[in-house]
Chains A and B, each alone.
Chain A
Amino acid sequence: DTGVSQDPRHKITKRGQNVTFRCDPISEHNRLYWYRQTLGQGPEFLTYFQNEAQLEKSRLLSDRFSAERPKGSFSTLEIQRTEQGDSAMYLCASSGGINEQFFGPGTRLTVL
């Protein structure tokens, strides 16, 4: 058990709907990362928070995607007007030190 939790574990939605995922990092970890993994591929970096500040966003993060970490603890990732291409595993990781990362179990999104 890594201590990073994600909710929900699975989400099936229809194209055009909005979805929101939650990540609870290991407590006191100040860094939080979101990654996306499509079938047969390695994960890809989406965005990164240090405390409540979103310090970097990948070009993969279109304007339909928004992430927040309002109190520097849990984070949410929202996808608006979902498309079939958004179907993927969304992974969260947290870190309290340089270079280490602890991963959550992921949220598997299926857009019909």
Chain B
Amino acid sequence: KNEVEQSPQNLTAQEGEFITINCSYSVGISALHWLQQHPGGGIVSLFMLSSGKKKHGRLIATINIQEKHSSLHITASHPRDSAVYICAVYLPQRGGGADGLTFGKGTHLIIQP
């Protein structure tokens, strides 16, 4: 079982729709990232959060530490939002004290005009 689960895996929506992508993780974490990856591979960090809610433009990220769950919302979605959205967390140890991220498999979002 993957330690970080995302849903849905694929999402196609019409321009203007409100989008929600969910992320659940199995153990306590220190922080969670939402990342965006466009075709071609480059990853951009959208949010890093450890509690509560953050907003940037049309993007909103929330996290519930007790429920081990985070959501990424996109309001007034646009075709340029089409990308893979990845949830990543810092999990307690793989051993040795490193803090590399553990990633979900990503949600492939397509916004149609």
Residues in chain A within 8 A of chain B (CB atoms): 2, 31, 33, 35, 37, 40-45, 47-48, 55-56, 58, 89, 91, 93, 99-106, 108
Contacts and interface: CB of A to CB of B under 8 A. Distances in A.
Interface of B: 4, 30-31, 33, 35, 40-45, 48, 50, 86, 88, 90, 94-106
B94 to A, nearest CB: 7
Contacts of B48: 99-100
Contacts, number: 74
A106 B31 contact: no
B94 A58 contact: yes
Nearest to A59: B94
Contact of B45 (A41, A47, A100): A100
Given A99-B31, A101-B33, A42 B94 contact: no
Contacts of B33: 101
A44 B41 CA distance: 14
Contacts of B50: 99
Contact of B94 (A45, A100, A106): A45
A40 B105 contact: yes
